[in-house]
Amino acid sequence: MPGTRFPTARLTLGQMRRSAGRLTAAGVAIAIGTAFVTVTLLAGDLINRTARDMIAAEYATADLVLSVDDPEGLTRYDDAAVTAIADLDGVAAVQPLAAFWGDLRHAGKGSYQVFVPAPSHESLSPLELTEGTWPARSGQIAIPPSVVERLGVGVGDTVTLQRSVYPDEAETAQGGTGEGSVEGEAEMVEPVAQTDELEITGVTSDPYGAFTGTGGAVAATAGDVAAWTAEEGADVSYEEVLVALDEPLTGTEVPADLRDALAGAAAATGMAADHVAVETTEARAAAKTIEQTGGQDLVFMVFVLTFAAVALLVAGLVITNTFQVLVAQRTGTLALLRCIGAGTGQLYRSVLLEAAILGALASLAGVAVGAVLTQVALLVAPSFDLGIPLPSAISLTATAVVLPLLVGIAVTVLAALSPARAATRVAPLAALRPADAPTLRGRAGRLRAVLTTLATVGGFGLLGLGAALGLAERPDVGLLAGVAGGAISFVGVVLGSVLWLPKVTAAMGRLVNRSGPSARLAVANTLRNPRRTAATSTALLIGVTLVTMMSTGAAGARQSADTMIDSEFATDIIVAPGSDETIDEVRSAVADVEGLAASTAIAGSFVTLGDVSDLSVNAVEPDALPGVINTPEEAAKLTTGTILLTEGAATSLRVADGGTITATGPDGTLDLTVAVTTAGPLNRIITTTDLAVLDADAVPHAVWARLATGADATTVLSDVQDATGAVDDGAMVIGPAAQAAQFRQVVDVILGIVVGLLAVAVVIAVIGVTNTLSLSVIERTRESATLRAIGLSKGQLRRMLAVEGTLIAGVGAGVGILLGVLYGWAGSVTALSLMGDVQLVVPWTDLAVVVGISLVAGLVASVLPARAAARTSPVAALAVE
Partner 1 sequence: MDTTVYVPLDGMGAGSPAVRARSLTKTYGKGEAEVHALAGVDVDFAEGRFTAIMGPSGSGKSTLMHLLAGLDSATSGQAFLGTTDITRLGDRDLTALRRDRVGFVFQQFNLLPMFTAEQNITLPVELAGGTVDQAWFATLVETLGLRDRLSHRPGELSGGQQQRVAIARALIAQPDVVFADEPTGNLDSRSGAEVLSFLRRSVRELGRTIIMVTHDPAAAAYADRVVLIADGKIAGDITDPTPEAALAGLDALRTLEPSVAVGGDA
Q: What does the alpha-carbon distance between residue 699 and residue 782 come to, in Å, rounded to a whole number?
A: 92
Among 610, 783, 836, 842, binds partner 1 (CB under 8 A): 783
3-state secondary structure of 162: strand
Backbone angles phi, psi at 606, to 5 degrees: -110, 125
Binding flag, residue 432, partner 1 (CB under 8 A): no
Give whichever of 456 and 525 is closer to partner 1, judged by the CB atom.
Answer: 525
Shortest distance, CB of residue 880 to partner 1, whole angstroms?
A: 6
Give whichever of 800 and 821 is closer to partner 1, judged by the CB atom.
Answer: 800
Shortest distance, CB of residue 514 to partner 1, whole angstroms?
A: 12
Binding flag, residue 775, partner 1 (CB under 8 A): no
Of the candidate spans 176-184, 589-597, 738-746, 872-880, the one that interacts with partner 1 by CB under 8 A turns out to be 872-880
Q: Is the dihedral of CA 651, 838, 303, 411 positive or negative?
A: positive
Among 252, 791, 844, 871, binds partner 1 (CB under 8 A): 791
Q: What does the alpha-carbon distance between residue 445 and residue 601 come to, in Å, rounded to a whole number?
A: 73
Binding flag, residue 520, partner 1 (CB under 8 A): yes
Shortest distance, CB of residue 756 to partner 1, whole angstroms?
A: 40
Question: Residue 400 is inside which H or E element, if any?
Answer: helix 398-424
Q: What does the alpha-carbon distance between residue 675 and residue 646 come to, in Å, rounded to a whole number?
A: 8
Half-sphere exposure of 316 (CA within 13 A, CB side): 20
* Residues contacting 272, CB < 8 A, separation 6+: 70, 75
Among 786, 840, 853, 856, binds partner 1 (CB under 8 A): 786
Binding flag, residue 782, partner 1 (CB under 8 A): yes
**Bridging pattern class, strands 669-677 and 642-646:** parallel
Of the candidate spans 305-313, 512-520, 646-654, 658-666, the one that interacts with partner 1 by CB under 8 A turns out to be 512-520
> Distances in Å between the alpha carbon of 727 and those of 589, 598, 599?
8, 20, 17
Distance of CA 554 to the CA centre of its chain: 12
Binding flag, residue 792, partner 1 (CB under 8 A): yes
Among 288, 330, 684, 788, binds partner 1 (CB under 8 A): 788
Shortest distance, CB of residue 492 to partner 1, whole angstroms?
A: 30
Give whichever of 503 and 528 is closer to partner 1, judged by the CB atom.
Answer: 528
Give whichever of 459 and 502 is closer to partner 1, judged by the CB atom.
Answer: 502
Backbone angles phi, psi at 218, to 5 degrees: -95, 130
Asked if 832 and 557 count as a contact pair (C-beta separation under 8 A), the reply is yes
Of the candidate spans 238-246, 386-394, 667-675, 788-796, the one that interacts with partner 1 by CB under 8 A turns out to be 788-796
Give whichever of 329 and 608 is closer to partner 1, judged by the CB atom.
Answer: 329
Q: What does the alpha-carbon distance between residue 493 and residue 823 come to, in Å, rounded to a whole number?
A: 13
Residue of 403, 396, 438, 406 lying closest to 419 (CA atoms)? 438
Binding flag, residue 869, partner 1 (CB under 8 A): no
Backbone angles phi, psi at 657, to 5 degrees: -55, 130
Residue of 204, 244, 248 lying closest to 122 (CA atoms)? 244
Among 83, 292, 652, 873, binds partner 1 (CB under 8 A): 873
Asked if 397 and 46 count as a contact pair (C-beta separation under 8 A), the reply is no
Q: What does the alpha-carbon distance between residue 344 and residue 665 come to, in Å, rounded to a whole number?
A: 96
Binding flag, residue 525, partner 1 (CB under 8 A): yes
Binding flag, residue 787, partner 1 (CB under 8 A): yes
Q: What does the alpha-carbon distance between residue 353 and residue 11 come to, in Å, rounded to a whole number?
A: 10
Asked if 202 and 129 count as a contact pair (C-beta separation under 8 A), the reply is yes
Asked if 189 and 256 count as a contact pair (C-beta separation under 8 A), the reply is no
Question: Residue 671 is inside which H or E element, if any?
Answer: strand 669-677
Give whichever of 308 and 787 is closer to partner 1, judged by the CB atom.
Answer: 787
Shortest distance, CB of residue 523 to partner 1, whole angstroms?
A: 9
Of the candidate spans 97-105, 747-755, 782-790, 830-838, the one that interacts with partner 1 by CB under 8 A turns out to be 782-790
Helix axes 475-513, 530-568, angle to 10 degrees: 130
Shortest distance, CB of residue 786 to partner 1, whole angstroms?
A: 4
Give whichever of 270 and 795 is closer to partner 1, judged by the CB atom.
Answer: 795
Give whichever of 533 and 551 is closer to partner 1, judged by the CB atom.
Answer: 533
Of the candidate spans 32-40, 300-308, 635-643, 869-877, the one that interacts with partner 1 by CB under 8 A turns out to be 869-877
- DSSP letter assigned to residue 210: T
* Residues contacting 382, CB < 8 A, separation 6+: 390
Among 341, 517, 648, 756, binds partner 1 (CB under 8 A): 517
Binding flag, residue 251, partner 1 (CB under 8 A): no
Shortest distance, CB of residue 384 to partner 1, whole angstroms?
A: 51
Q: Is the dihedral of CA 445, 450, 455, 461 positive or negative?
A: positive
Of the candidate spans 81-89, 445-453, 524-532, 667-675, the one that interacts with partner 1 by CB under 8 A turns out to be 524-532
Count of residues of this chain found to bind partner 1 when the rule CB under 8 A is applied? 26
Shortest distance, CB of residue 388 to partner 1, whole angstroms?
A: 59
The runs of H, that is alpha helices, within 425-472 are: 443-471
Asked if 642 and 673 count as a contact pair (C-beta separation under 8 A), the reply is yes
Q: What does the alpha-carbon distance between residue 26 and residue 22 come to, in Å, rounded to a whole number?
A: 8
Binding flag, residue 875, partner 1 (CB under 8 A): yes
Binding mask 814-853 for partner 1 (x = CB under 8 A): ----------------------------------------
Cβ burial 112-145 (10 Å sphere, 16+ → b, else e): ebbbbbbbbbebbbbbebebbebbeeeebbbbbe
Shortest distance, CB of residue 800 to partner 1, whole angstroms?
A: 10
Give whichever of 278 and 519 is closer to partner 1, judged by the CB atom.
Answer: 519
Q: Is the dihedral of CA 403, 408, 413, 418 positive or negative?
A: positive
Give whichever of 2 and 791 is closer to partner 1, judged by the CB atom.
Answer: 791
Binding flag, residue 654, partner 1 (CB under 8 A): no
Among 18, 446, 510, 528, binds partner 1 (CB under 8 A): 528
Among 13, 356, 480, 527, binds partner 1 (CB under 8 A): 527
Shortest distance, CB of residue 439 to partner 1, whole angstroms?
A: 15
Distance of CA 626 to the CA centre of its chain: 37
Q: Is 341 left (phi over 0), alpha (psi -120 to 50) or beta?
A: left
Q: What does the alpha-carbon distance between residue 759 and residue 686 come to, in Å, rounded to a whole number?
A: 54
Which positions from 794 through 813 interact with partner 1, judged by CB under 8 A? Answer: 794, 796
Of the candidate spans 351-359, 370-378, 525-533, 628-636, the one that interacts with partner 1 by CB under 8 A turns out to be 525-533
Give whichever of 607 and 869 is closer to partner 1, judged by the CB atom.
Answer: 869
Of the candidate spans 160-168, 240-248, 555-563, 790-798, the one that interacts with partner 1 by CB under 8 A turns out to be 790-798
Shortest distance, CB of residue 526 to partner 1, whole angstroms?
A: 10
Binding flag, residue 437, partner 1 (CB under 8 A): no
Give whichever of 615 and 789 is closer to partner 1, judged by the CB atom.
Answer: 789
Binding flag, residue 878, partner 1 (CB under 8 A): yes
Binding flag, residue 744, partner 1 (CB under 8 A): no
Residues comprising the chain, all counted: 881
Give whichever of 325 and 400 is closer to partner 1, judged by the CB atom.
Answer: 325
Among 377, 789, 834, 856, binds partner 1 (CB under 8 A): 789
Give whichever of 619 and 792 is closer to partner 1, judged by the CB atom.
Answer: 792
Asked if 33 and 366 count as a contact pair (C-beta separation under 8 A), the reply is yes
Binding flag, residue 793, partner 1 (CB under 8 A): yes
**342 class by beta-carbon count within 10 Å (0-12 exposed, 13-18 middle, 19+ buried):** buried
Q: Is the dihedral of CA 269, 274, 275, 277 positive or negative?
A: positive
Distance of CA 265 to the CA centre of its chain: 48
- Residues forming contacts to partner 1 in the complex (CB under 8 A) are 516-517, 520-521, 524-525, 527-528, 782-783, 786-794, 796, 873-875, 877-878, 880
